[in-house]
Structure 1
């Protein structure tokens, strides 16, 4: 058996931006083994945008103009996360107040149960709405669409004369919360550079907790109407601030609006590599289009059908998880308020 070796000249070093590969093949006709070693260049085109972004951002990571702009945008849109937190924090102490003997809207045990159930029930509808609209009207417009009804829900609470008003308001609030948990991570992830994505992503959970704490502290010391007027200021601020928030460049590329995508990217990135970054995003969008061309592929493809049982059972489990969270908050708030009264 003969052994044939095809190797590069060992007297030369491996060029920069290249990789060394070795392959072994067996030739049945000649009864010999062929060993081939090749030096291949790296495809640096896909990495050039990341390298340039890293080089520009490493100069001043936390206080660069790019970081400040992206953090400000992320913080502003996460006012919707704060609003979602107020939904969770409002229900516990409010039910405790409405169940008192001197309540303006006295509620029975059954009415209290319905009021507590409206939030997770609406929350199961919100993600479906967001999934349909996020690529139809844009991420920014979905955020605004969620913020505007929030003011209406507080007006409903101010004008409420029975439990039906409160239940309608809570159902809408639940839908807004469901939209929030879908659109905010999408938008923040798309407008954030890779090196800032983790920091900007943490804002959402912090704002939700801040909203919960805000309502738990506020509700026991003010009337139902006063609390509603105070809380309605936050969505109003979000609507006003939305005039300077850019739309996601990904959405513009999905809609084949390259010039708008370039303008949005220029505001978000604040650097001199906009054209290269735009080409990089265009490749990503094209790859995503090739993955799933139609919603029916979820059911037509064999691997997706295998995950069907998990898809069908996940919804009720999520609703149950929401119910456990709200039940814990309501019971904990009741205990705290009883201790305060004592």
Structure 2
């Protein structure tokens, strides 16, 4: 293999579009980074590359994406002795066969961001070939799915533009987690740098069972467990309602497990009363009830006896009936019917 490897990049390390671990591990393996430099000339001798001349750069004003644009430092150059140059500059769209389709200034296909339509009737375009250009493969696949829904609606007689699903996001601060014990991230064990630089075998050795469990326990919350089944979200999406426009005062409730086997998040409860009715009319138990009056009203169990906990563990119909994910059966992987 190569004795010395250089990576030439015109911005600084902090602007580099790479994961920090990728940079760190490559440095461990002997890669030398030449930041704030840009190839200006490849110098050859006898038909082979001999040197590369680098223009020294500095960061100027931010560009449209917010990244600071690199600008040349006038008259300042460096020269490296090299015998192989690999250009990593991406690819451009080949417009052959795209006659009549409008292209952007970047040479990509101009497509509507909501309908994915080009300037030609009933011609759609998605992925790297459109608008902003190259990105990761999964984004192109995702755009294909969105476009398919638009095409389907058009074939049904009414083209509906793609509308991004609503996500309720909460900005978590350090104060919100002040009562939680801090646990450092487990470091992934890797092969020695001297060993891995000579082959293409996997670098990560993987966690042990104990370490994997310890790392999983660091998770504080994975979001709403019922998001994809939430009727509130589904109906809002179907009726093109914008929930973010109805931001109002909310009751601040902590999650609780008074019945041990059922986790209740009253912050998601809309007081529809389904769980109370199912418990009373279907399960014939009457364990749940509405406590309080007015805005602070919450659903609570009347008793917390061992017998009540046993009944709830074997039932779970209230959690199955909940339309918003406010109830979750703990320690049960089985599906429960509310009928």
Where on the TM-score scale, by shorter chain, does this alignment land: which range?
under 0.3
Larger Rg: 2
Structure with higher strand content = 2
Structure 2 length as normaliser, TM-score?
0.19
Give the structure-1-normalised TM-score.
0.19
The structure that is helix-richer by fraction is 1
